[in-house]
């Protein structure tokens, strides 16, 4: 859809649904005046790779590709397909990357598991000196909704119960008083 997404698949026996290894290839724009090195150079300095995308998320993409190619080269017998996806635009909403693939190719994917950037491990990024691994078990995104209330218009100096603004405020109060939903699935329950 105007951007390039890369998909590759290793066929398994089909005993289980596929696992998807997905990462995004785009990066957040960089103000080069605020960098001491070229943010798009991928420079090796002090034992680290410096540059836009080094953590988010070129490293994960390289590891996923390495794992995928190792499975292929070693001709590992798989009970499920392994799908490698490199998508083009996660940083700007995913409309031409992940969302496009879901809307137009979900039947071809139909995964049981999806591994993405939730699994980063670092000693410096989150808590200095402490090894931290993030685990992603679900995705979240903006949830836009429109509330409509019907009633009898009125004036602020003479409020009444049938005013649609009052109904909207009560509805919003009920929505905000609800606890956040907790996702539960086999990964969380294991």
Active site residues: 26, 90
| Local confidence pLDDT in tens for the 190 residues of the chain | 678 999 999 999 999 999 999 999 998 888 999 998 999 988 998 888 888 888 788 888 999 999 999 999 999 999 999 999 999 988 887 888 888 898 999 999 999 888 887 655 666 666 667 776 666 555 556 667 788 999 998 887 888 888 898 889 999 998 888 776 555 555 444 4
Judge if 128 and 147 occupy the same domain.
Answer: no
Question: Does any domain span residue 58?
Answer: yes
Decide if 101 contacts 88 (C-beta within 8 A): no
Distance CA 114, CA 137 (A): 9
Provide the whole-model pTM: 0.64
Q: What is the DSSP letter of 96?
A: T
pLDDT of residue 157: 84
Judge if 94 and 177 occupy the same domain.
Answer: no
Pairing status of strand 43-45 against strand 48-50? antiparallel
| C-alpha gyration radius of the chain | 23
Residue whose entry in the numeric block shows the structure tokens 């960089």: 30
Q: Write out the two tokens for 72.
A: 């292929």
Judge if 119 and 35 occupy the same domain.
Answer: yes
Question: Does any domain span residue 1?
Answer: no
The boundaries of the domain holding residue 184 are 143-190
Judge if 23 and 111 occupy the same domain.
Answer: yes
Count how many domains the chain has.
Answer: 2
Judge if 35 and 90 occupy the same domain.
Answer: yes
């Amino acid at each position: 859809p105007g951007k390039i997404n890369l998909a590759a698949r290793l066929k398994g026996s089909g005993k289980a649904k596929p696992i998807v290894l997905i990462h995004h290839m785009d990066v957040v724009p960089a103000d080069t005046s605020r960098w001491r090195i070229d943010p798009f150079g991928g420079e090796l300095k002090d034992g680290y790779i410096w540059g836009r995308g080094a953590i988010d998320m070129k490293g994960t993409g390289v590891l996923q590709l390495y794992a995928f190619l190792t499975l292929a080269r070693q001709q590992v017998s798989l009970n499920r397909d392994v799908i490698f996806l490199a998508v083009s635009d996660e940083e700007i909403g995913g409309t031409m990357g992940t969302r496009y693939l879901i809307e137009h190719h979900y039947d071809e994917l139909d995964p049981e598991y999806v591994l993405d950037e939730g699994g980063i491990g670092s000693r410096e990024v989150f808590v200095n000196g402490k090894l931290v691994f993030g685990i992603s078990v679900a995705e979240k995104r903006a949830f836009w909704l429109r509330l409509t209330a019907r009633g009898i218009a009125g004036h602020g100096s003479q409020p009444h119960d049938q005013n649609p603004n009052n109904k909207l405020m009560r509805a919003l109060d009920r929505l905000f008083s609800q606890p956040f939903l907790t996702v539960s699935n086999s990964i969380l329950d294991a």
